[in-house]
A and B are shown apart, each in its own frame.
Chain A
Amino acid sequence: MGSEQPPQTSEQGQEPSQSFRSQKSMTKAERRELQEKQRATKAAAKASGSTGQANKPATKQPEGGGEKSSGKQSGKQGSGSGQSTQPQNQHQRRASRVSGVGGDITRPGGGPGANIASDLASRSINPRGVRIFSHFGLQHKSGAGKGLIHPAIVRLGLLFSDFQITGANARCLATLIAFKHVIQDYTTPQNNTLSRHLMTHLSAQISHLVAARPMSVTMGNAIRQLKLEISGVDIDLPEQDAKEALCGTIDSYIEERITAADQVIAQSAGLKIKDGDILLTYARSSVVEKALLRAHEEGKSFSVYVVDSRPMLEGKKLLTALSTAGIPCTYLLLPAIGSVIAEVSTVFIGAHSLHSNGAVHSRAGTALVSMMAKQHSIPVVVCCETYKISETVQLDSFTKNELGPLNGIFSTFPISIPRESLATENTTNLEILNPLYDLTPPKNITAVVTEVGIIPPTSIGTIHIALGRQIV
């Protein structure tokens, strides 16, 4: 049966630990396939009445190696319950399914009791959830990349993976600045040209960063632009001049696409703030923060509801910035939004990336805020630079997302809650997920404020064309 999967073939003699490791290296789909196959084989073996194979200890079954929650369970059940040679009856099929899961616990005599027991046993493997959330996958921190990794990149990788630097803008800025260091410290090896070799050198740095945390759309766009510039470097240009030219391009990219863009956005967003307005914002967006502070400096009087939620509780930082500047603020957690949303005049949110179908990929919870605002016919304004626009189409928040780890800043609970009552780590049957992003459908967004103007979300796709494709 296992000839296609060499590491798993010797079902009889394999040590469990070994089989676990080998299964880890397989993809989910492969493991799934293997399970099904084993089940089928088991069922067949049972039906034919051959107990020879079925009598081996259940712990030796390589089943469920990849599923954390089931690992312990199957061992326990296997050692506790002996193999029962169930006579062929209507429960045969069900029983054989359980035997594939880890230890037969069917009772002789069948009946409804056995039915329930078998269902309970099969439930413990948590198959559905694991399958449906498996693609979220946590990034492994092992950043042992190939090739020479520049210290600035190593440092940045650690900051990324520890969530010390978060936010699409901050991450892109940090990456570009680190790349400037990389380029300045770079020397072209003999018999090679800068435009060719620097590219491969940078690729190693990039994959190190991606290993630390998945790349943001902003980083992707900036890196693509940088690669374009590198490939366009004249071969005859002296190395030092070429490096300086590249650093100059990076500086102007930062200046044009981020710094200046933010100022323009803050100005145009300010046009939408009137005296006496009650604004609402979710979590913390650097652009929204700038826009609100600027409007306050311009002398507009308004108040702000800062909505916040776990896992990151970033809103507290925004709250500090706004209240220090003297803007009257009200702070609330996301579940309470239903009580205040009706009073709000405009909702301002930031974005992680924009997609060409008009969907906004942003901090988890943004979609809920804009949904509630839409329900109450309150305009939702997204503040977003054009370099955050991705040419892809995204349809829901489920297919592409990122999970936050369980510890560190992700255990941001108020002190007033007793820690022991909280579930902070995965146990049998219980898995904790911290998705970091969600997708706001374009129908819930009124307008997008970019540095090229205030546009409806449906026109996002045209920005590329308007700006000329090679710039992005």
Chain B
Amino acid sequence: MPEGVQAIAYQRNIEVLVSKLRRRQIVGSRRAALETLLVLRQVVSKARFSNIEQLVEIIHSAGRRLVEAQPKEFSVGNTVRKVLHHIREEYRTAAKKAPEDTALSISKLVYQGQPRRRGVAPKSEMDVDLKEDDPDDPDSFARSLKPVLMEAIQDVFDELETVYDSISKSAKDHIHSDEIILTIGQSTTVESFLKAAAHYRNFTVIVAETGPSYRGHGMAQSLSEAGISTFLVPDSSIYAIMSRVSKVILGAHAIIANGGMFAVTGSLLAATAAQAHSAPVVVCAGQFKITPLWNLYQDYSALDFSDPSSVLGFEEGNLVDKVDVINPYYDYVRPDLVHAYITNDGDHPPTSIYRLIKETYNDEDIEL
């Protein structure tokens, strides 16, 4: 059997995705997560391994490659971690290894920080005989484990596919009648959340344009076409309008372990203005955006910059070589500015994000 061929097959898949990420042909957390998952499925199905450590190492290296390609697209790494978590769970069930002592105790909570292992429904109900490192038939381990692994990946896939619907489920519990909601930019999650709420409630949405991409325009058009009464305002009037806004709903690029988040530029402005007017800030985001990363120092390195020509175009020819132009892609929003995260995994305060991370990912996978 030509061993190299299969390896090359999935290596090529990885390289294709790497270059797409690098060229920013794939943007958006969910799309990146979906593409990552497709590649990981290829990797798992083609990989040759005879024990769990080998498999984990294969996925680790694939994940590392993808994350290095676009370190600011956090959902790639998160998806890899999540798949690894599922694989470990499946393996544990299949190998009938006793899960770690599940009894709760304070000391365990402190030492491990993992009070509740996310209950992955065991797929392997048939009694597979797992033989690790079988010298006679090195592929037997992979053969018997692969079907359950594929199912586990499919689970993650399904979760990603339905993420908007699951988030929108609780929409009507968060929005009351006649509310005035402010949002910025165009987040598909927020868009579907508001549209879902519009089935039950009558409310007004104010969309800030969010320069320099001005994606708020698309958002406003989409919402108004869905029958929601919408106002489009320039970013400059966020403060003026805020005194009448009853809730700010934002999207996120990544939610990080301290409860803060990275979100489209302008989120910090909106969240701060909301705080000044005591309006609650609600963030809608899929669970795949929860990232085991800390950002205690708000420095540039955490941000990403985009094209300055959308801020100061070349039509301003006399200025171009005289001035610097700053066009950051993301804002870091501190945890104290956010009141709630609405995810497909329930609603959470920023203070419990670290716990979700402990539950969702394995500690060993945090560093890919």
Contacts and interface: CB of A to CB of B under 8 A. Distances in A.
Contact of B326 (A69, A323, A339, A397): A339
A329 B324 contact: yes
B349 to A, nearest CB: 22
Nearest to A365: B236
Nearest to A337: B269
A409 interface: no
Interface stretch (A80-88, A126-134, A230-238): A126-134
B218 A372 contact: no
A68 to B, nearest CB: 12
A375 interface: yes
Contact of A422 (B217, B303, B315): B217
Interface in A412-444: 413-417, 421-423, 427-435, 437-439
A122 B318 CA distance: 53
A336 interface: yes
B291 interface: no
B230 interface: yes
A427 B316 CA distance: 32
Interface in A121-179: 122-124, 126, 128-129, 132-133
B239 A367 contact: yes
A427 B236 CA distance: 22
Contacts of A371: 239, 272-273, 276
Interface in B200-229: 200-204, 209-214, 217-218, 220-221, 223-225, 227-229
A376 to B, nearest CB: 10
A202 interface: no
Contacts of B166: none
A310 B204 contact: no
B238 interface: yes
A429 B224 contact: yes
A368 interface: yes
Contacts of A431: 230-232
Nearest to A342: B298
B236 A438 contact: yes
Contacts of A333: 211-212, 235, 311, 327
Contacts, number: 212
A459 interface: no
B220 A434 contact: no
Nearest to A283: B236
Contact of B240 (A129, A320, A324, A438): A438
A402 to B, nearest CB: 11
A122 B218 CA distance: 24
B240 A123 contact: no
State which size class the interface on A falls in.
35 or more
Nearest to A333: B211
A367 B178 CA distance: 27
B14 to A, nearest CB: 33
Name A's interface SS: mixed
Contact of B316 (A316, A332, A364, A434): A316
A335 B266 contact: yes
B313 A415 contact: yes
Interface string A318-336: 0110011000111111111
A116 interface: yes
A123 B220 contact: no
B230 A429 contact: yes
Contacts of B200: 116, 119
A366 to B, nearest CB: 8
Contact of A329 (B217, B276, B323): B323
A229 interface: no
A397 B231 CA distance: 17
Given A417-B214, A438-B237, A330 B265 contact: no
A8 B203 CA distance: 30
A132 B235 contact: no
Contact of B237 (A132, A364, A396, A414): A364
A427 B300 CA distance: 40
A132 B220 CA distance: 18
Interface in B232-259: 232-241, 243-244
A332 B326 contact: yes
A466 B309 CA distance: 50
B174 interface: no
A126 B203 CA distance: 9
22 contacts: A116-B200, A119-B201, A126-B204, A128-B203, A310-B234, A329-B324, A331-B323, A332-B327, A333-B211, A333-B235, A333-B327, A335-B235, A338-B265, A365-B237, A365-B239, A417-B213, A421-B214, A423-B220, A429-B230, A433-B237, A435-B240, A438-B237
Interface of A: 69, 116, 119-120, 122-124, 126, 128-129, 132-133, 306, 309-311, 316, 319-320, 323-324, 328-340, 342, 363-365, 367-368, 371-372, 375, 396-398, 401, 413-417, 421-423, 427-435, 437-439
Interface of B: 178, 180, 184, 198-204, 209-214, 217-218, 220-221, 223-225, 227-241, 243-244, 265-266, 268-269, 272-273, 276, 298, 300, 303, 307, 309-313, 315-316, 318-319, 322-328, 331-332
Closest 8 CB pairs of A and B: A335-B266, A365-B236, A397-B240, A430-B224, A338-B268, A429-B224, A438-B240, A367-B239
Given A331-B319, A334-B269, A365-B235, 17 more contacts: A116-B200, A120-B227, A310-B234, A320-B319, A335-B210, A339-B328, A342-B298, A371-B273, A372-B272, A417-B310, A421-B214, A423-B221, A429-B228, A431-B230, A434-B234, A435-B236, A438-B236
